[in-house]
């Protein structure tokens, strides 16, 4: 009898806990709905309308990243010197910071500077990678979608690590800790499995260096996934105060590409993005990142005070929403909502470069901007990964989507949308010299967004992406003169 009473008591306790959990979840869902309706932007309300979407958002919410940063706030704060356009972007993205890869306290920073010199193509991008690596004192963090051995990019990166070993031996002190993350996608089962070889390639290249771990200690991990949820981000952070964000992978280059060097607290935000990936993907023997103070708190802040935002999205590999149109557009993240906000709030002009342009939300936002009178100018390759982009659920080729965009413009507004094909040296249907792999957007000559996101279905709905918004009229003008300006002047007009 006592056993029965004891069992009944335990059952009642379990039922009570289940009821409490149910009430807690229902309360969170109700709060999500109310918060979205009251404080969400128009963009947010459209995407979160109704309890069903609120529940979906709650269940799929990306867990908050640790950041490995000391002394940061628990909420995002907009700096007083932010431009009106950046304020609009902030309003349209701040409520989904938790669905990105950086903590709220690092979402927006202001003790920053940006180099006005754009790093052009693999030669310029990885030459500067090497310069930062050689100057490292304590830590190097690198993430890249692809790594190919025996390419100019991989040779430059690995040789700079060997140079760093010599420098550390001469200078003495603690070893520089190096952490590298690459993507690894696999398809098939058992012996039929095919996988991306980036992880094997980088391990081989690093092993061949025979680095002394007492001088340069390297750890490597991989973002393993099946299907579409890739880590497409490309960034380098050194000592938590200098960083490069770019569109180029450590491989043979895919055409015209660009990179951007920044310093200051934003480097810790970009580091937090890598910390988040490392937390999710690290191997059993890999160590965590140590906690660091912000550069501005350790006397390493640059002279500049440029507001910047790190705009990210987590990897999400489910494909049904793209096969069955309108059933799911996974844009509830800082990266995608920032692009939509810029297109919604720009007053004069928007300039875009991307390897591919086929995401429906992106295309609709472009059309809306042009129809209301904003001058939208776009440069894309005539061909880029056509075979992949033509597959079901991937959005279609550039030629197909350009025709669709231009056909959707009313005759009296047609002049507001101007698209050109990137003009290189030779024709090709893939990674030829006519291709452009850079990811670039500016608006009203005030803000720039650069990084890893293409304006395609894959980047907007599935891949893990990292982008940087820079709020500076001076920097934007310098970057325009080196990237979009010459590309647009050389481009082949469409239509």
Q: What is the DSSP string of 130-148?
A: HHHHHT-SSEEEEEES-B-
Is 118 in contact with 479 (CB distance < 8 Å)? Answer: yes
As to burial, measured by CB atoms within 10 angstroms (0-12 exposed, 13-18 middle, 19+ buried), residue 391 is exposed
Give the bridge partners for 263, in sequence order: 113, 242
Note the pLDDT of residue 412. 96
What residues does each domain of the chain span? 30-60, 116-300, 320-493
As to burial, measured by CB atoms within 10 angstroms (0-12 exposed, 13-18 middle, 19+ buried), residue 460 is buried
Of 177, 105, 183, nearest to 141 by C-alpha is 177
- Homologous superfamily of domain range 116-300: Endonuclease Chain A (3.30.870.10)
- Whole-angstrom Cα distance, residue 312 to residue 335? 5
User: E strands within 24-149?
Assistant: 69-70, 108-109, 112-114, 119-120, 139-144
* For the chain, percent of residues with pLDDT exceeding 70: 80
3-class state of residue 206 by DSSP? helix
More confident residue, 130 or 191: 130
Mean predicted confidence (pLDDT) in 265-274: 97
Is 406 in contact with 357 (CB distance < 8 Å)? Answer: no
Of 404, 452, 350, 399, nearest to 89 by C-alpha is 350
Mean predicted confidence (pLDDT) in 167-196: 83
Topology alike, domains 116-300 and 320-493: yes
As to burial, measured by CB atoms within 10 angstroms (0-12 exposed, 13-18 middle, 19+ buried), residue 179 is buried
Note the pLDDT of residue 462. 87
- Name the DSSP class of 443: E
Q: Is the pLDDT of residue 54 over 50?
A: no
372 band by pLDDT with thresholds 50, 70 and 90 = very high
pLDDT tens digit sequence for 444-486: 999 999 999 999 988 998 899 999 999 999 999 999 999 999 9
Is 262 in contact with 308 (CB distance < 8 Å)? Answer: yes
Residue 7 CB: number of other CB atoms within 10 A? 10
Of 79, 112, 183, nearest to 452 by C-alpha is 183
Note the pLDDT of residue 56. 39
pLDDT tens digit sequence for 346-360: 999 999 999 999 999
What is the dihedral sign for C-alpha 349, 354, 357, 359? Answer: negative
Mean predicted confidence (pLDDT) in 384-394: 76
More confident residue, 107 or 30: 107
pTM score, whole prediction: 0.85
Token couple for 33? 């709905």
pLDDT tens digit sequence for 71-81: 898 889 999 99
Mean predicted confidence (pLDDT) in 22-42: 37
Within 40-69, residue ranges assigned H as helices are 42-48, 51-60
Q: Is the pLDDT of residue 9 over 80?
A: no
256 band by pLDDT with thresholds 50, 70 and 90 = very high
- Whole-angstrom Cα distance, residue 415 to residue 86? 27
- For 320-493, CATH gives 3.30.870.10
pLDDT tens digit sequence for 289-343: 999 999 999 998 888 899 999 999 998 765 554 454 443 457 899 999 999 999 9
Q: Is the pLDDT of residue 46 over 50?
A: no
CA angle 113, 115, 117 (to 5 degrees): 165
More confident residue, 116 or 22: 116
As to burial, measured by CB atoms within 10 angstroms (0-12 exposed, 13-18 middle, 19+ buried), residue 56 is middle
- For strands 308-313 and 292-293, give the pairing: unpaired
CA angle 301, 303, 306 (to 5 degrees): 90
Of 368, 376, 378, 386, nearest to 427 by C-alpha is 386
Q: Is the pLDDT of residue 233 over 80?
A: yes
């Amino acid at each position: 009898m006592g056993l029965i009473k004891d069992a009944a008591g335990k059952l009642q306790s379990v039922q009570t806990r289940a009821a409490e959990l149910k009430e807690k979840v229902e309360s969170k869902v109700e709060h999500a709905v109310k918060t979205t309706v009251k404080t969400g932007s128009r963009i947010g309300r459209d995407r979160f309308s109704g309890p069903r979407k609120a529940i979906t958002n709650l269940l799929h919410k990306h867990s908050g990243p640790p950041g490995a940063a000391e002394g940061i706030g628990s909420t995002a704060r907009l700096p007083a010197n932010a431009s009106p356009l950046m304020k609009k972007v902030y309003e349209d993205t701040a409520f989904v910071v938790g669905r990105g890869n950086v903590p709220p306290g690092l979402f927006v920073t202001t003790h920053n500077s940006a180099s006005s010199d754009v790093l052009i193509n693999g030669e310029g991008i990885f030459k500067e990678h090497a310069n930062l690596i050689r100057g490292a004192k304590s830590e190097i963090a690198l993430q890249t979608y692809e790594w190919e051995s025996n390419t100019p990019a991989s040779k430059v990166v690995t040789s700079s690590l060997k140079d760093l070993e010599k420098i550390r031996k001469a200078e003495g002190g603690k070893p520089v800790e190096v952490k590298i993350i690459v993507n690894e996608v696999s398809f098939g089962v058992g012996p039929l499995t095919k996988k991306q070889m980036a992880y094997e390639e980088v391990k081989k290249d690093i092993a061949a260096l025979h680095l002394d771990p007492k001088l340069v200690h390297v750890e490597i991990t991989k973002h393993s996934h099946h299907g579409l949820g890739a880590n497409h981000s490309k960034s380098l952070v050194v000592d938590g105060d200098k960083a490069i964000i770019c569109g180029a992978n450590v491989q043979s280059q895919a055409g015209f590409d660009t990179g951007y060097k920044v310093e200051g607290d934003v480097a810790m935000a970009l580091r937090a993005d890598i910390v988040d990936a490392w937390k999710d993907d690290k191997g059993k023997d890999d160590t965590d990142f140590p906690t660091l103070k912000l550069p501005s708190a350790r006397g390493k802040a640059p002279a500049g005070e440029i507001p910047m935002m790190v705009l990210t999205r987590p990897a999400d590999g489910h494909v049904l929403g793209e096969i069955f149109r309108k059933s799911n557009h996974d844009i509830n993240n800082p990266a995608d909502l920032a692009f939509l906000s810029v297109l919604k709030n720009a007053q004069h002009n928007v300039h875009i470069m991307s390897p591919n342009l086929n995401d429906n939300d992106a295309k609709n936002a472009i059309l809306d901007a042009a129809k209301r009178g904003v001058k939208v100018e776009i440069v894309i390759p005539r061909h880029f990964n056509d075979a992949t982009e033509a597959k079901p659920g991937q959005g279609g080729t550039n030629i197909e989507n350009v025709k669709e965009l231009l056909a959707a413009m009313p005759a009296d507004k047609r002049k507001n949308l101007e698209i050109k094909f990137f003009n290189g040296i030779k024709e090709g249907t893939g990674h030829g010299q006519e291709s452009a792999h850079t990811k670039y957007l500016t608006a009203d000559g005030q803000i720039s967004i650069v990084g890893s996101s293409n304006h395609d279905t894959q980047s907007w709905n599935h891949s893990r992406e990292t982008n940087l918004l820079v709020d500076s009229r001076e920097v934007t003008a310098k970057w325009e003169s080196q990237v979009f300006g010459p590309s647009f002047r050389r481009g082949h007009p469409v239509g």
